[in-house]
Amino acid sequence: MKRYSYFLLLLLAFVVSACKTDYTSLPTYSANKQLQAVVETPAGNTHKLVYDKEKQEFVPDLDAGHEREVNFLPYPGNFGFIPSTEIDKNGRGLEVLVLSERQEPGTDMEVIPVGLMQLERGGELRHIVVAVPARPSERQLDATNYENFSTKYPGAKAILQIWFANYNKAAGTRFVGWRDEKFAEKEIQRWMKL
């Protein structure tokens, strides 16, 4: 009987490990019509993680063969991407920063965009959707649109501007401006895979 139980346990472990999720192919919107975000790098991390579509795993981001490490303050939110969006030929999804408690890599969250941050790096414009969890019980900030976010949390906006301009000095990132949730929604629609 012990041998049979051991065999079943091994078989179950194999089946579970073989069932990996392709996070890039999840729908952009949930069945509840809420925007979804996939967390790659948890809030508070100093090591950047990215989703490797081929391996279907979250792996360290590499820079010249070395793990990319933030030599500034840790990530101020959960950083990841909007599934089923594609902003470049490498298949990279539209970036999102979810302002909430730490979530583990691979967490798929329903979120509400509260704005969009525009950055410039190497002459190219970079957009980051800034969002809060859709579930009120998971929110740290009491804001569900750009006006509330700007009025109630101007310090949070300032922190994000400073953080993104300083977390990777070598990249020469420059803060360009903020856009509202309507602009964020248009940007999401623009990059959705058809």
The per-residue pLDDT for range 24-39, each reduced to its tens digit, is: 999 999 999 999 999 9
56 found inside a domain: yes
Q: Closest by alpha carbon to 157, among 139, 170, 184, 175?
A: 175
Distance CA 177, CA 130 (A): 13
For 14, 21, 153, the CA distances from 18, given in Å and listed in that order, are 6, 10, 44
30 found inside a domain: yes
Look at residue 13 in the predicted model and tell me its pLDDT: 46
Whole-prediction pTM: 0.88
Number of domains in the chain: 1
70 found inside a domain: yes
2 found inside a domain: no
**Which runs of consecutive H residues, i.e. helices, occur in the chain?**
2-18, 146-152, 154-166, 181-191
CATH code of the domain in which 171 resides:
3.90.80.10
92 found inside a domain: yes
pLDDT for 137-180, tens place per residue?
A: 999 999 999 999 999 999 999 999 999 999 988 788 999 999 99
3 found inside a domain: no
Domain that holds residue 64: 20-191
8 found inside a domain: no
171 found inside a domain: yes
